[in-house]
Amino acid sequence: MAGFNQDVQQDMEAVVKEWIESGHLHEGDLFVIGCSTSEVAGKNIGTSGSEDIAAVIFQFVEKLQQQTGIRIVFQCCEHLNRALLMERKTMEYVNAEEVSAVPVPTAGGSMASYVYKQMQDPVLVETIQAHAGMDIGETMIGMHLKRVAIPLRFNKRNIGNARVAFARTRPKLIGGERAHYQKTHANKSCK
């Protein structure tokens, strides 16, 4: 497992670097992460969760947070209706409503279970509208992204054995052919 965890570390290090270099993350942005540690390990989602793998991934997610100032949110598994785990101060920042559950490996997932124990004041909410996100193992984070989601094509396509997808969002472009739009980070072309 030590060699495998080292591979996951290298994968996560590459992903963090690509996120930072992309310029798509800004201080205060909500960043949602869905992660199947079973898929990372090469098993079917929900069959072989690992808090050891979660610990490796979380280490690099914290690094991304520290270097960009984003607010990290973790999606729980389907058994908690894909509720979202975050620090209480993040919940208050987005004015979300707390729901009552504690993620465990068999209901919430190993990633959320591990992170819950690492947070200072963890809470769950039902829904958010994140600015960007990362889906490790096809956990379906799209329901928690703002409209309009834009897929990102990073060089790193796997974390361990799991496929990884990346997305950012931009404001809707409204008004038709007569409209003019500000030049902001929100409507720059995709990378």
> Where are the chain's structural domains?
31-173
CATH number of 31-173: 3.40.50.10360
The structure tokens 């999606």 sit at 75
Task: Dump pLDDT digits (tens) for 102-131.
Answer: 999 999 999 999 999 999 999 999 999 999
Per-residue confidence (pLDDT) for residue 3, from 0 to 100: 78
Task: Dump pLDDT digits (tens) for 20-68.
Answer: 999 999 999 999 999 999 999 999 999 999 999 999 999 999 999 999 9
Q: Output the pTM of the full model.
A: 0.91
Within 10 A of 143 (CB to CB), how many other CB atoms are there? 12
Q: What DSSP designation does 148 have? A: S
Could you give the CA distance from residue 191 to residue 177 in angstroms, rounded to a whole number? 25
Which pLDDT band holds residue 184 (cuts at 50, 70, 90)?
Answer: low
What Rg value do the Cα atoms of the chain yield, rounded? Answer: 16
Residue 12 pLDDT greater than 80, yes or no: yes
Could you give the CA distance from residue 148 to residue 101 in angstroms, rounded to a whole number? 30
Token couple for 72: 């990290």
Could you give the CA distance from residue 119 to residue 144 in angstroms, rounded to a whole number? 21
Percent composition of the chain: helix, strand, coil (DSSP 3-state, to 5): 35, 25, 40
The structure tokens 């209901």 sit at 107
